Amino acid sequence: MEQQGNISEVSEFLLLGLSQVKEVQLSLFFLFIFFYSLILPGNILIIATIWTDGHLSSPMYFFLANLAFLDICYSSVTPPKMLADFLSHHKTISYGGCMCQLFFLHFLGAAEIFLLMAMAYDRYVAICLPLQYMHLVNRSMCCILVAASWTGGFVHAIILVTLTHRLYFCGPNTLDNFFCDVHQVIRLACTDTSMVEVLTFINNGLVILTSFLLLLISYAILLLKLKTSATQGMSKASSTCVTHIMVIFVMVTPAIYLYTRPSKPLPMDKLVAVFHTVIFPLLNPMIYTMRNREIKSSMKKLLKKCKLWPIV
């Protein structure tokens, strides 16, 4: 625990979690293990359905399968540690573990936002340039867009981790949260963090808020374009756009609240963080499957084939 250059004295952080009451912790454990047990099967089912059904080979479903995979990864960053801490008396996380958690949380979160932008591009070409769709959104372009989403998320996260890792931590080491959040970690530094906070705010703002506004504007334009059309195809396209907008609000608005404002703690921070990291990833597959007849039909066929769905 001795300082060597920029290496911090703090070797671990103490997590206060969501509650200090044992009975409440036990209740939360069973509640969140229920949600978590639904996230993985739901997203795995989406991926399996899309990859096994030849009728779901369009770029839109390719992006959806990748989004489901990101949800699986994202929902595996903080919930396992949180669930283990509910049953532990000593809730700590190592300095390295904290940096890793911070990195993957922002890496996967930003990658999801960039993937939503790729999905918006797919819908734009399908609606506005239908004759060029097969040429502009082929499988190679889809892979490039997915790779760009992951790369963008990596760059975003590595900037945040680099800024945080360069700070000197000498104590205290208590985080009033159930995971390592960038703002709370920065506040524990023993050095001047004003510049780091500004750079972190700018980085988060560029990724989250700018992407959110661009997504809303693009889908608003598409809906206006579809408004005057009464054909069945256009009606289906409108429904798809509305579904995407719902997912955008579910995924991005909590991130806007948490990361695009000054780092001063607010009473709602923990609650929003729970919804953002644990509960909301569960809603993505539900939103898509409830509003898409093709996916629901294909899921039932797959479940029946695996003898997991009652034959009626």
> What one-character DSSP code corresponds to residue 87?
T
Averaged pLDDT, 99-110? 94
Host H or E run for residue 94: strand 92-94
Residue 98 above 90 pLDDT? yes
Provide the 8-state DSSP code for 275. Answer: I
Q: C-alpha distances in angstroms, 89 versus 19, 41, 86, 172, 287?
A: 12, 30, 8, 19, 37
Per cent of the chain over pLDDT 90 is: 35
Whether the pLDDT of residue 6 is over 60: the answer is no
Sign of the C-alpha dihedral computed for residues 87, 90, 94 and 99 taken in this order: positive
pLDDT over threshold 90, residue 285: no
What is the mean pLDDT of the segment spanning 170-187?
A: 89
Residue 1 pLDDT > 70 = no
Q: How confident is the model at residue 117 (pLDDT cuts 50, 70, 90)?
A: very high
Compute φ and ψ for 213, nearest 5 degrees.
Answer: -65, -40
State whether the Cα torsion 53-58-62-67 is positive or negative: negative
Distance CA 306, CA 287 (A): 24
Beta carbons of 301 and 292 less than 8 angstroms apart: no
CB within 8 A of 85, min separation 6: which ones?
A: 15, 17, 91, 178
Residues 242-266, mean pLDDT to the nearest whole number:
85
- Tell me how far apart the alpha carbons of residues 206 and 259 are, in angstroms, rounded to a whole number: 11
**Fold of domain 12-305:** Rhopdopsin 7-helix transmembrane proteins (1.20.1070)
Over pLDDT 70: what percentage of the chain?
A: 93
The predicted structure's pLDDT at residue 311: 47
Q: What is the pTM of this model?
A: 0.89
User: What's at 273, amino acid-wise?
Assistant: A
Cα–Cα distance measured from residue 259 to residue 212, given in angstroms and rounded to the nearest whole number:
13
Least confident of 54-63, 121-130, 302-311: 302-311
CB-neighbour burial class of residue 252 (10 A; exposed 0-12, middle 13-18, buried 19+): buried
Helices (H), 75-209: 79-86, 95-128, 133-136, 139-165, 182-187, 194-204
Q: What is the mean pLDDT of the chain?
A: 86
pLDDT at 2 over 50: no
Contact yes or no for 132/166 (Cβ under 8 A): no
Helical H segments across the chain, by residue range: 22-52, 59-74, 79-86, 95-128, 133-136, 139-165, 182-187, 194-204, 210-227, 232-259, 269-274, 280-290, 293-305
Which comes out higher in pLDDT, residue 299 or 285? 299
Which band of pLDDT confidence, cut at 50, 70 and 90, is reported for residue 223?
confident
The answer to whether residues 31 and 79 touch, using CB atoms and an 8 Å cutoff, is no
**Banded model confidence at residue 233, pLDDT cuts 50, 70, 90:** low
> Which tokens in the block code for residue 277?
């990291």
Residue 201: pLDDT band (50, 70, 90) is confident
Region of residue 264 (left: phi > 0; alpha: psi -120 to 50; beta: else)? beta
Q: Which residues pair with 94 in a beta bridge?
A: 12
Q: 138-167, pLDDT tens digit by residue?
A: 999 999 999 999 999 999 999 999 999 989
User: How far is 303 from 297, CA to CA, in rounded Å?
Assistant: 10
pLDDT at residue 57 in the model = 85
pLDDT of residue 3: 43
Chain segment 202-212, per-residue pLDDT in tens: 888 888 999 99
Is the pLDDT reported for residue 282 higher than 80? Answer: no
193, pLDDT greater than 70: yes
Identity of the amino acid at 218: S
- Average confidence (pLDDT) over 225-234: 66
Q: How confident is the model over 245-264, as a mean pLDDT? A: 86
